[in-house]
């Protein structure tokens, strides 16, 4: 049977809700999970039929501990592990708990709002909501920092290649590793920089989103360290769907970093470059202004697997 992936390669949308849940110990948990898988499939089918032009979807990821607790298939996906923090000399890519992750997208926020209500209604008696972030498209796909986000995202067939597992793990072909981090921005410090200084931190022009040439771009710029290559110089990419969020009255502004990848080792290599540095100590300068307060790894099974899990 052909692997029917969840919507991991959809392009970023105008409105997003991210939710992370921690499962309680409950004898009914496996039954509830069956209902949850059926609900996720139903939500996607329903919004596609009702609002075919809304680009709406619900993607569910499952964490390592949840996979074991729910007694899902073994062996597990090859790189599904308990994510461990990556600690540099100054900054840390922290590790935080999470059993289930939901990524809800739509042009119309009403659609994902109702999706979130249905998921929460089912899960609330059996799980704890530990994170909910409402993201939105900011101008022309910019982060709150003012720079375009996601320029290096792959396009076309490359999105499938870099986001979905291939023949290297046939048991989970079409699935995807999902890594997420919630970053909070120090906007006062960031605004204290001139535009020229900000551009050197990012490695791109602020207005036109043009990457600096290699002889000008600082080695500790975000672009220099977040773009990685394999041992033979091949490109290693992920599919990002980052979204900004913010609460002006509380001065909380940030970016929800979300990556879908065919292998988690690609994400780990990128994080190591950013937080430890390449070479060691030459960390990503953006981390002086953006702090990772969460970090969790999940696996996104195919729709076929969700259908099997639903009983």
Return the active site residues: 149
Burial class (CB in 10 A: 0-12, 13-18, 19+), 271: buried
List Cβ neighbours of 140 (8 Å cut-off, separation of 6 or more): 148
Largest CA distance in the chain: 61
Burial class (CB in 10 A: 0-12, 13-18, 19+), 150: middle
Token pair, residue 255, equals 């970016």
State how far Cα 79 lies from the chain centre. Answer: 16
CA distances, 37 to each of 41, 56, 61, 121 (Å): 6, 17, 11, 14
Q: Which residues pair with 127 in a beta bridge?
A: 23
Residue 269 and residue 229: Cα distance in Å, rounded? Answer: 9
Residue from 217, 238, 218 nearest 227 by CA: 238
Residue 175 in contact with residue 299, Cβ under 8 Å?
yes
Residue 27 and residue 131: Cα distance in Å, rounded? Answer: 24
């Amino acid at each position: 049977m052909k692997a029917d992936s969840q919507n991991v390669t959809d392009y970023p949308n105008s409105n997003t809700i991210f939710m992370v849940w921690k499962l309680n110990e409950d004898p009914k948990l496996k039954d509830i999970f069956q209902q949850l898988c059926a609900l996720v499939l139903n939500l996607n089918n329903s919004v596609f039929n009702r609002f075919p032009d809304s680009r709406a979807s619900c993607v569910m990821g499952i964490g390592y501990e949840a996979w074991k607790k729910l007694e899902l298939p073994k062996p597990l996906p090859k790189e599904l592990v308990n994510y461990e923090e990556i600690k540099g000399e100054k900054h840390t890519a922290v590790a935080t708990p999470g059993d289930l992750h939901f990524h809800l997208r739509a042009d119309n926020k009403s659609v994902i709002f109702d999706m979130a209500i249905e998921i929460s209604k089912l899960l609330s008696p059996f799980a704890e909501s530990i994170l909910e972030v409402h993201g939105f498209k900011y101008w022309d796909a910019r982060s709150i920092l003012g720079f375009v986000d996601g320029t290096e995202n792959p396009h076309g067939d490359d999105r499938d290649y870099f986001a979905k597992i291939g023949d290297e793990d046939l048991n989970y072909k079409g699935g995807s590793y999902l890594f997420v981090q919630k970053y909070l921005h120090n906007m006062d410090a960031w605004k204290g920089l001139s535009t020229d200084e900000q551009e050197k931190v990012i490695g791109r022009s602020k207005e036109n989103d043009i990457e600096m040439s290699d002889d000008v771009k600082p080695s500790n710029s975000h672009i220099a360290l977040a773009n990685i290559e394999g041992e033979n110089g091949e490109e290693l990419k992920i599919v990002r769907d980052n979204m900004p969020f913010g609460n002006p009255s509380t001065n909380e502004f940030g970016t929800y970093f979300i990556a879908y990848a065919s292998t988690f080792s690609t994400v780990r290599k990128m994080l190591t470059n950013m937080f430890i540095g390449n070479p060691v100590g030459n960390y990503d300068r953006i981390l002086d202004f953006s702090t990772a307060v969460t970090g969790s790894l999940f696996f996104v099974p195919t729709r076929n697997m969700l259908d099997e899990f639903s009983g």
